Amino acid sequence: MLGVFDSGVGGISVLQHLRKLLPNERFLYYGDSANAPYGSRTTEEVRQLTLAAAEKLTSEYPVKALVIACNTATAAAVQQVRQQYPDLIVIGIEPALKVAADHFPGGRIGVMATEVTLREEKFDTLVHRFEKECTIAKIPAPGLVQKIESGKTDCEETEALLREILADHIGKLDALVLGCTHYPFAAAAIGRILGENTAILDGGEGTARETRRRLMEKDLLRSGEGCVQMENSSGDPQRIALSMELLG
Ligand code: DGL
């Protein structure tokens, strides 16, 4: 079984790619919506919540790999999770800045992500790697995760919030990197605001490819029929229904 974890329903945008690339795998998706959003918490809080989720998944299910489908949890805690579970394959996600820099050399790139992701050292290191080649704008998006968590992915309310968040960047970006796994669910509204001259990129597919590579390397790929099981810390059946709807 593959454990896939996020602070809420956002990691389902990564699960979509995982399911496509690894159709024979059994996935257990765990969203910690009871504690979302993680992105405005302290680093220590995100670390403790991520370690608690990893403990839950590894103790309750026979997981052969854990995908941290959350940029915020990866930035704050992937190192600690790897230390705690040295024998487990642990895959994290980070903003797809490399993909953007490769596609748009010398380009103007925006990275939209949570406060925690944007302030962590891991992100600074990533920015330093590419800032000589590109102009990079950090774009926090307060309130957007809450909209997605309540199922408001493409509606007037969410579009109005996005217009405020992106106001200074319209017509000024070659690419916008969605550095939070919740944001791809608002990609349609983001695309309408930024227009067709701005590419919208995210790290979901790259993370799924890396997961497949790591499983192949250890000969851990499964055959037979795949499946997805959804769990959510909120215990709210509507949240599970939303999760299935977002998975498509
Ligand atoms: N989906 C998460 C990420 O990729 C964070 C959302 C939150 O703030 O809880 O960063």
Task: Write down the pTM of the prediction.
Answer: 0.97
Active site (annotated) includes residue 227? no
Active site (annotated) includes residue 155? no
Q: How far is the CA of 204 from the centre of ligand 1 (A)?
A: 13
Best of 4, 93, 153, 180 for a ligand 1 pocket test (most atoms within 8 Å of beta carbon): 180
The 10s digit of each residue's pLDDT in 39-53 is 999 999 999 999 999
In terms of Cα–Cα distance, which of 129, 5, 16 is closest to 71?
5
Best of 50, 70, 116 for a ligand 1 pocket test (most atoms within 8 Å of beta carbon): 70
What separation in angstroms does the CA of 167 have from each of 32, 146, 164, 194?
31, 20, 5, 9
Strands (DSSP E) found in 42-198: 65-68, 89-91, 108-113, 135-140, 175-178
Best of 71, 115, 119, 177 for a ligand 1 pocket test (most atoms within 8 Å of beta carbon): 71
Q: Which amino acid belongs to residue 192?
A: R
Say how far residue 90 (Cα) sits from the centre of its chain: 14
In terms of Cα–Cα distance, which of 122, 225, 110 is closest to 179?
110
The 10s digit of each residue's pLDDT in 91-127 is 999 999 999 999 999 999 999 999 999 999 999 999 9
Q: Point out the ligand 1 atom lying closest to the alpha carbon of residue 183.
A: 1
Residue nearest to atom 2 of ligand 1 (CA): 70
Is 142 buried (19+), middle (13-18) or exposed (0-12) by CB count in 10 A? middle
pLDDT band with cut points at 50, 70 and 90 for residue 130 = very high
How large is the average pLDDT for residues 55-84? Answer: 97
Q: How far is the CA of 219 from the centre of ligand 1 (A)?
A: 31
pLDDT band with cut points at 50, 70 and 90 for residue 164 = very high
Q: Which residues form the pocket of ligand 1, taking CB atoms under 6 Å from any ligand atom?
A: 6-8, 10, 36-39, 70-72, 114, 117, 145, 180-182
User: Which pLDDT belongs to residue 176?
Assistant: 98
